[in-house]
Structure 1
């Protein structure tokens, strides 16, 4: 039995497109477009490219089996813009440009990401992007999670160092939670890669046992329609996001400090003296 292409159907609906829109754009009968959806038939490469552009998805997402494995490997090489030996080798100008150019999606998956969020204009720029319609999502490690404590040990840092960095980073971004289209969540994953997505570009900071993130390699990726590499990290972000929990609006210790503790005084003992 033929399997419907639900990804294509959903992408068209999400972008307000119907069969006629697609058929007019690529010059085929609407019934042909309908068969691509209902029977899962795969269009010719030139049609796949046009449709993917219309719905702002990759060909690989819409038709996962359409591109041969060897071709995917070739495309993956083209998706890599540059490899940096260490994350702290990524030029500040690149971070500035990625943030400045992003207009639709900014997704950040980190443990702390303090190096980025503490930049003087970061919060102001995020607020401006959100007010202009960009969807912005932050995923930070839960400071209380055992995975965070373990990372401090694995990176040969002092006990509680990573948790402290996360709390410092949250101090910079928590005010952003009041901005529409900015969401902040905690995750408890064993983080293998930090992901910084800005529309169709991404920096992936791999993590190496025994080294802090700043000293581990980083990949600058650019999304290609038929590519698989960018999409792999994007799907990983979505998986972590789905399992994440909203970050509290303030530190638990801050909430606790507002309560008053009442202590019971000991009863005075009887004295023999008058």
Structure 2
């Protein structure tokens, strides 16, 4: 089956197989197979092609949206996503909505949550009003670690304003009973989205933007498992973080 969406995207730019191949750094025959045979490229090549075409990678290749099944090497492991962009926003929202005791978020910015779900602050207020303790730790835009991450991910100074934007999104929650907001300057090895006994871990890979790095969904199955490892990591960072004043 041919890939008509890809064919149309290329036609819209007046590109041949060779034109797209040059930008993606593959053989023109490879692009031809993507179009005429409906082949799905490797994720890295698909991302480069989508960026070059100005199109959505999952619209061009829907198969890349499906999370791959993970071999259960840990009883805590629920699902493994090849990259953060594969995780539906509904997964984050559903986890937050069912939290009853604890919500912990450790990120540098993660502004995609507010952008994809504008009611995020309202949801956090609702959870706090029902007795759920909410802790949000954002990256300090002035910290050396944030600036270094920008260089490593080839983001330049882009990550610093995103940290400031994230703080702007969450600042209305300062002073809300049950919600604490802090900034941190740690080297962020993983972004964490924890609710009660579950956590989404966005692993960070050198030179890769967070949306392109893997995410594993963990559920606590017992003491000293993977879930506990990450929640203890959050606690350690939280102790070093600075409260955001109103």
Q: Decide which of 217, 221, 226 is 2:214's aligned counterpart.
A: 217
Q: Measure how far apart 1:227 and its partner are.
A: 4.7
How many angstroms apart in 1 are the aligned matches of 2:182 and 2:223? 31
**Structure-1 residue corresponding to 2:139:** 141
* 3-state DSSP of counterpart to 1:189: coil
How many angstroms apart in 2 are the aligned matches of 1:226 and 1:141? 29
Deviates more, 1:219-228 or 1:167-176: 219-228
Q: Which runs of 5+ in 2 are unaligned?
A: 1-71
**Structure-2 residue corresponding to 1:116:** 113
Q: Does 1:107 align with 2:104?
A: yes
> How big is each residue's C-alpha offset from its partner over 1:184-236, in whole Å with a ceiling of 9 and x where there is no partner?
11111110000110111100000000111010000000011245110000000
8 Å Cα contact 2:174-2:244 kept in structure 1: no
How many angstroms apart in 1 are the aligned matches of 2:170 and 2:189? 23
Q: Decide which of 130, 141, 150 is 1:132's aligned counterpart.
A: 130
- The runs of at least 4 aligned residues of structure 1 exceeding 6 Å deviation read none
8 Å Cα contact 2:89-2:113 kept in structure 1: no
Give aligned pairs, total: 175
8 Å Cα contact 1:76-1:229 kept in structure 2: no
**Structure-1 residue corresponding to 2:84:** 87
Q: Decide which of 225, 228, 231 is 1:231's aligned counterpart.
A: 228
**Structure-1 residue corresponding to 2:93:** 96
Deviates more, 1:214-223 or 1:116-125: 116-125
> How big is each residue's C-alpha offset from its partner over 1:93-132, in whole Å with a ceiling of 9 and x where there is no partner?
2112101111110000000011113321101000111111
Give the alignment's Cα RMSD to 1 decimal.
1.6
How many angstroms apart in 2 are the aligned matches of 1:92 and 1:81? 17
Q: Measure how far apart 1:171 and its partner are.
A: 1.2
**Structure-1 residue corresponding to 2:183:** 186
> How big is each residue's C-alpha offset from its partner over 1:151-202, in whole Å with a ceiling of 9 and x where there is no partner?
11000013x2111001111111101012101001111111000011011110
* 3-state DSSP of counterpart to 2:188: coil
TM-score of the aligned structures, taking structure 1 as reference length: 0.62
* 3-state DSSP of counterpart to 1:195: strand
**Structure-2 residue corresponding to 1:162:** 159
Q: Measure how far apart 1:85 and its partner are.
A: 0.5
Q: Measure how far apart 1:78 and its partner are.
A: 1.4
* 3-state DSSP of counterpart to 1:94: helix
Aligned CA distance change for structure 1 residues 238 and 244 (closer, same or farther; 3 Å): same
How many angstroms apart in 2 are the aligned matches of 1:228 and 1:147? 28
TM-score of the aligned structures, taking structure 2 as reference length: 0.68
Alignment of 1:1-274 (within 5 A): 77-118=74-115, 119-158=117-156, 160-249=157-246
* 3-state DSSP of counterpart to 1:77: coil
